[in-house]
Amino acid sequence: MREPDASEYSFLGLCNHGKPLGPETLAYLVGLADSPRHIVGDPSTAKSILRFMFDFEELAESAAWLLDAQKGFVPEGYHPQTPALLTKSWSPVSAMLEQGFNPVVLNREEKQRAVATGIWEPASLGSFKSIKDSSTVEQLFWEVLREAFRRAAERKMLVSLIAMPGWSYDTKIGSLPKWSAKEVAKADRILWKRTPED
């Protein structure tokens, strides 16, 4: 695999080949994959997963409801660890590349509002702030990634990251149903919010 260009995976790189277009929001999903050849590495499959999860998470009455709903749609060997999280004009994929986290798989669409999907081996990542105390989208991402790496290493899996521009940041704050910490754990999620403001 050729060395990826982080600018191609930045918010603007994915949004419109470097030119501003529409709302400055990007959605991303962190998950675990059981193989570097997992179908989540295919942009078309990754886009379907992200869109499905984004829509169904807001309807989820409980962890059991969500796990049942995703059974028929999420491919075997892939386990979402977060709800679809949101950023403003920032991409966690380019941030990982810039910090030297080299993917085993990284693909993207060649179109406006392109989806990017990558798979990484677990790595060690120092703690910055707790998820609860993360006040920016960047802090929140790094704390989520730290926990995803820990879980991947423990379960002998890889970390998947799907990202795509679109949606609306401000209208989605507080859009997920309220869950207890116990319910979040039952759903096998690291957290249950879309933004630091939730």
Rounded to whole angstroms, the Cα distance separating 172 from 198 reads 9
Would you tell me the crossing angle of helices 63-71 and 43-57 to the nearest 10 degrees? 150
Residuewise pLDDT in 10s, the chain (198 residues): 568 899 999 999 999 766 766 778 999 999 999 999 999 999 999 999 999 999 999 999 999 999 999 998 899 999 999 999 999 999 999 999 999 999 999 999 988 889 999 999 999 887 666 888 889 999 999 999 999 999 999 999 999 999 999 888 998 999 999 999 999 999 999 999 999 999
Q: Provide the pLDDT for residue 131.
A: 86
Compute the distance between CA of residue 48 and CA of residue 190 in angstroms, rounded to an integer: 21
Q: Which two tokens stand for residue 160?
A: 């998947």
pLDDT in the model for residue 42: 98
For residue 107, give Cα distances in angstroms to 41, 82, 143, 161, 191: 7, 21, 24, 11, 26
Give the Cα separation of 109 and 169 in Å (integer). 22
User: What per-residue confidence (pLDDT) applies to 68?
Assistant: 95
3-state SS assignment for residue 28 = strand
- Alpha-carbon distance 122 to 129, whole Å? 19
Beta carbons within 8 Å of 68's beta carbon, 6+ residues apart: none
- Identify the pLDDT of residue 127: 66
Spatial CA neighbour of 43 closest among 149, 139, 129, 119: 119
SS3 168: coil
